[in-house]
Amino acid sequence: MLPQFLTAEESAAVDAALLTTPEKFLTRLTISTGKLLIYIAKDLNISVEALTNEQIIAWFEADSKRKQTEGVEASVLKWEAQDLTDLPTEDLPKEK
């Protein structure tokens, strides 16, 4: 089962907190980032503390490539980009 990085309950708890809108955004981002780092570390079979920036970047690149080549359901992160003009052209699947 793939992870849900921010549950509805966690989001509701953040909404109920006495925080400004930017603070709530940062809180949600921090909670989901913590869970994602744990997921990446387990995927790479190392501790979160041992993760390097390079490993995190490589993991995101691999997940992005999987999404581009196999579809969004094959990736861990399920968002779909509507405008991929910022991707390097060598990374895009070749048109038939």
**What is the DSSP-derived secondary structure letter of residue 92?**
S
User: What are 10-42's pLDDT values in tens digits?
Assistant: 889 999 999 999 999 999 999 999 999 999 999
Residue 70: predicted pLDDT: 83
Q: Which pTM was predicted?
A: 0.71
pLDDT higher than threshold 60 for residue 8: yes
pLDDT band at 83 (very low <50, low <70, confident <90, very high): low
Top pLDDT among 64 and 3 is at 64
pLDDT higher than threshold 70 for residue 48: yes
Q: What are the b/e assignments for 46-75, b being 16+ CB within 10 Å?
A: eeeeebeeeeeeebeeebeebbbeeeeeeb
pLDDT band at 60 (very low <50, low <70, confident <90, very high): confident
Residue 1: predicted pLDDT: 43
